[in-house]
Amino acid sequence: MENERYSRQSFLGPDAQDKIASCRAGVAGLGGGGSHVVQQLAHIGFKKYALFDGDIAKDVNLNRNVGTTLADVEGGVSKLDIARRTILGLQQDADIIAVPGRWQDNADVLKRCDIVFGCVDSFSERDQLERCARRYLIPLIDIGMDVLHPEGDPAPTMSGQLILSMPGGPCMKCLGFLTDQRLAQEASRYGAAGPRPQVVWPNGILASSAVGVAVDLITDWTRSLRGVVYRSYSGNTGLIEPHARLPYLDLNNCSHFPVEQVGDPVFRKL
């Protein structure tokens, strides 16, 4: 029965389902992006999860969070429970570690993951998540989107990104996505950022692309995922393509995360 269930994705390789089922996927953030990621992972056949989110379903989530219902909002159901319900509806024997709080306080759970999806809102949290993933040699796939209103432009500009941060490869600072200036500006606005524009379709596009990258990493079905993955998304044109900055970057070395700094922290007496 299970072989028949996944027969239409047999092109992924003869051992693909075993590889997918044995991979523990971490998802940090179960909002607009993370809820899409969880749903797709369950459809594909992932059976091991580590989920991180401390929020409950709210009315403002209904325009983008996959699986969330009016009843969930009225009942104050946690996003973790909604994600768990989605997974178990497709994978009854799923092994789900659900963390109802900050992933920063549960690094022991995060380091058990084979791959992590970063679906967080802030630059600072992206920076923290990447640092943790690098320490434990875990591939991190970051997604995010925003809507800006450029001065003099009558139409808002919707944009997003997908970045694969691989241990040993260029990090988000190397790629110019995370910068000291961005982190400082965000820190100066802490507590006054206000609501960020979010809608369901760009989150779905970016999440789908992220899941595709993860499956390719696990199964190597395209035989082509060998270089840097940094894709930009334009919601105005509907295009997702390699970032225009890539040809101008030094992608050979990462000076921010030396290999000798991986693993658990070591404390020595002075």
What is the side-by-side order of every strand in the sheet holding 140-148?
A: 95-99, 48-52, 24-28, 115-118, 140-148, 157-165, 229-234, 239-242
Q: Are 241 and 156 in contact (CB under 8 A)?
A: no
Say what the pLDDT of residue 138 is.
96
Domain layout of the chain by residue ranges: 2-261
Per-residue pLDDT of the chain (270 residues; tens, 9 = 90+): 567 999 999 999 999 999 999 999 999 999 999 999 999 999 999 999 999 999 999 999 999 999 999 999 999 999 999 999 999 999 999 999 999 988 999 989 999 999 999 999 999 999 999 999 999 999 999 999 999 887 777 889 999 999 999 998 999 999 999 999 999 988 877 554 456 788 999 999 999 999 999 999 999 999 999 989 999 999 999 999 999 999 999 888 888 988 777 776 655 555
Listed residue (162, 143, 142) closest to 231, CA to CA: 162
d(CA 94, CA 7): 20
Say what the pLDDT of residue 193 is.
47
Amino acid at 237: T
Q: Are 120 and 28 in contact (CB under 8 A)?
A: yes
- What is the residue whose two structure tokens read 């797709």? 40
pTM: 0.93
Say what the pLDDT of residue 266 is.
57
- Residue 261 has which token pair? 């700094």
Write down the CATH number for the domain with range 2-261: 3.40.50.720
